[in-house]
Amino acid sequence: MIQTVERLAFFSVARGVGFGVLGIICLMVGLSTNVARALEGGGVCFLLMAIILMLKAKRAPLINFRTTEVWIMLNQEERPPVKVAEHIIPKARMRALVHWAHLSAWAAAVLLGAALPMLLL
């Protein structure tokens, strides 16, 4: 049961992050005539995404678990008892949000690190 909740929380957050990444890629393609600015724009956007994901992770325990996508994706027979669900779903969401925030921060560091030498020249 816990593994299913963890997997669904990871998938739920990954889907949202995927749409954000798609938007960032579109921005970078739009700025591709100036590679330094494209990398800088992508890095700033990934940094913003990391900050937003961390803020959402901080608020995860305050959100009613019944309104989360994880609860909705669980089949009736897979759903844990309410007393259990109110503890494991927010924690699973928080772990998934922190994981993707960490990856977004790394992407921001790589993009901004690649843009820095070009911007200084």
DSSP letter for 121, please.
-
Q: Residue 1: which pLDDT band, with cuts at 50, 70 and 90? A: confident
Torsion (CA) 74, 64, 69, 105 in degrees, nearest 10: -130
Please report the pLDDT score of residue 50 as a whole number: 98
Q: Calculate helix-pair angle for 82-120, 2-30, nearest 10 degrees.
A: 30
Q: Residue 78: which pLDDT band, with cuts at 50, 70 and 90? A: confident
Q: Residue 77: which pLDDT band, with cuts at 50, 70 and 90? A: confident
Q: Residue 2: which pLDDT band, with cuts at 50, 70 and 90? A: confident
Comparing C-alpha atoms, which of 21, 27, 29, 39 is closest to residue 100? 21
Comparing C-alpha atoms, which of 10, 6, 1, 12 is closest to residue 75? 1
pLDDT at 119 over 90: no
pLDDT at 54 over 90: yes
Distance, CA of 54 to CA of 81 (rounded, Å): 28
pLDDT more than 70, % of the chain: 100
Q: What is the pLDDT of residues 35-49, one digit of tens each?
A: 999 999 999 999 999
Please report the pLDDT score of residue 121 as a whole number: 79
DSSP letter for 32, please.
T
Please report the pLDDT score of residue 34 as a whole number: 95
Comparing C-alpha atoms, which of 57, 54, 48, 55 is closest to residue 24? 48
